[in-house]
A and B are shown apart, each in its own frame.
Chain A
Amino acid sequence: KAGVTQTPRYLIKTRGQQVTLSCSPISGHRSVSWYQQTPGQGLQFLFEYFSETQRNKGNFPGRFSGRQFSNSRSEMNVSTLELGDSALYLCASSFEPQRGYTFGSGTRLTVV
């Protein structure tokens, strides 16, 4: 079966712009979680969506938002980009997070 698909793979944006990242989970998985990975902070939890509802939220500013569609596909948006937002953004799909995630390959965002 198809894995978790994240698009785009790479992005370069300028400070102040906004960006939208997309994630298509494994068929049948209703939970989609987003993580930010940086060398200094490791994997930081952004939010989790389950059946189109945000079920959990990490400690990130309101510039970071997300949503989930009825087909379980999810998007995350970052507005007013800052240099510190440069990171690998990982989407993780699961039937239930506590059973384990299947990760996408990530979107590498560079803010210049």
Chain B
Amino acid sequence: SQQGEEDPQALSIQEGENATMNCSYKTSINNLQWYRQNSGRGLVHLILIRSNEREKHSGRLRVTLDTSKKSSSLLITASRAADTASYFCATAPISGNTPLVFGKGTRLSVIA
């Protein structure tokens, strides 16, 4: 069953704008990860944020984590057409040696 739920389900923006996606989850976690999937392909790991971290940056990506609200957000700044993809959050449950649990994803379309 899904633990993470992304919001919105779909997002369409112009090139150069910022894109923000949100993820909510239900149980305690060790970390939260974001992945990107281009159409029909495998997922690519973007960034991992630990439960004791509040914000993390990687290039044009900024991730925040609020464990009190059980939510995370992914911000992509200055979006490009190449950022068009589906974005998934995945939670690592606090009990070790358990698989990641993925949300259903946000479909981002960046229009040139």
Residues of A at the B interface (CB closer than 8 Å) are: 4, 6, 33, 35, 42-43, 45, 48, 50, 55-56, 58-59, 88, 90, 92, 97-106, 108
CA distance A55 to B44 in the complex (A): 23
* From A43, A58, A104, contact of B88 by CB (8 A): A43
CA distance A104 to B44 in the complex (A): 9
CA distance A99 to B49 in the complex (A): 10
Closest residue to A50 on the B side, CB-wise?
Answer: B97
Chain A contact surface mostly: strand
CA distance A100 to B35 in the complex (A): 10
Q: Is the CB of A4 within 8 A of B105?
A: no
Q: Is the CB of B48 within 8 A of A99?
A: yes
Chain B 16-51 per-residue mask, 1 if CB under 8 angstroms from chain A, else 0: 000000000000001101010000111111001000
